[in-house]
Amino acid sequence: MQLQQASTADRPRSGGATRWAAPRDAAPPPQGGLDLIEQFGTRRLARRGQEFYAAGDPAQFCYRIVSGCVRTVGLDEDGRRQVAEFLLPGDLFGFDSLDTHHLSAEALTDTVVVCYPRRAVDALAEQHPGLARRLRDLTLRNLRRAHEKMFLLGRKSAGERVAAFLLEMAERTAPGAEGTHIALPMTRADMADHLGLTIETVSRTMAQLCREGAIASCKSGIEIRDREALANFCAGGTRH
């Protein structure tokens, strides 16, 4: 399942754009100090289900998503799973590692990434304090998000978790828009393992949100019908 470098490699500006590089879902290259690393980026395609790296692997590469969706996953000896994050076009991953990755990263859909050798990134950071700063800020933002997620997992009800998740996905894919279609490329099992619930509870909760008119379910996604109601649900919809 490991990503094949040779077979899917693709020069950064090579003319042969595949359908994965279609402009409508392509994420722009990063701004700020991070554009320095762009010269070392290599474009790659990962098929649905392919693994970018496994937990414990040496951290050789970091990635930026151009199109598609990726999940980072932790697994314990009992087979219990925790999906740390879902990553969308524009998101970076694999930067948040020391010598080895402690989570695995897998493509949820066919995904195009730009891939940077860590060695080059680290060397560049040595010379450019601005880049080093950006990398630290990136990690700090991830840490902040992790703390918010800890709060979600430790202190929120099933309803609040699902509603918060849907709002987050909506915000990330179509900021501010109401009534638009939100793609949910992950399975119920992925959502459950992300939210600390079971697939049945996720399914039931989404059914309830439909019944109450907050969302409508389309195929492989939802539509936000009543953002207000969803946000409300976030802060104690089930609790009295």
Partner DNA sequence: CGCTAAGTTGACTGTTCTCAAACTTGGTGG
Partner DNA sequence: CCACCAAGTTTGAGAACAGTCAACTTAGCG
Binding site for DNA (CB under 7 A): 157-159, 187-189, 196-204, 206-207, 217, 219-220, 238-240
- Cβ closer to DNA: 115 or 214? 214
Q: Is 98 in the site for a second copy (CB under 8 A)?
A: yes
Choose the binding region for a second copy from 11-19, 35-43, 96-104, 223-231 (rule: CB under 8 A).
96-104
Helix axis angle, 118-127 relative to 129-155, nearest 10°? 120
- What's the length of the chain? 240
Is residue 135 at the binding interface for a second copy, with CB under 8 A as the rule? yes
Residues 115, 101: Cα–Cα separation, whole Å: 15
- The binder of 78, among a second copy, DNA, none, by C-beta within 5 to 8 A per type, is a second copy
118 binds a second copy (CB under 8 A): no
139 binds a second copy (CB under 8 A): yes
Given the complex with a second copy, which of 47 and 102 has the nearer CB atom?
Answer: 102
The radius of gyration of the chain's CA atoms, rounded to the nearest angstrom, is: 19
Going by the DSSP 8-state scheme, the letter that residue 29 receives in this structure is: P
**74: enclosing H helix or E strand:** strand 70-75
Q: Is 143 in the site for a second copy (CB under 8 A)?
A: yes
Tell the smallest beta-carbon distance from residue 94 to a second copy (Å).
Answer: 12
- Of 21, 107, 29, the closest CA to residue 67 belongs to 21
Minimal distance in Å, beta carbon 218 to a second copy?
28
The residue (of 14 and 187) whose beta carbon lies closer to DNA is 187
The correct pick among 125, 184, 206, 215 for binding a second copy (CB under 8 A) is 125
| Residue 236 interacting with a second copy (CB under 8 A) | yes
Least distance (Å) from a second copy to the CB of residue 174? 26
Find all residues with CB under 8 Å of 17, minimum gap 6, and list them.
Answer: none
Helix (H) or strand (E) holding 13: none
Whose tokens are 């946000």? That residue is: 231
105 three-class SS: strand
- Residue 189 makes contact with a second copy by CB under 8 A: no
Interacting partner of 203 out of a second copy, DNA, none (Cβ under 5 to 8 A depending on kind): DNA
Helix, strand or coil, per DSSP, at residue 56: coil
- In whole angstroms, give the CA distance from residue 16 to residue 8: 13
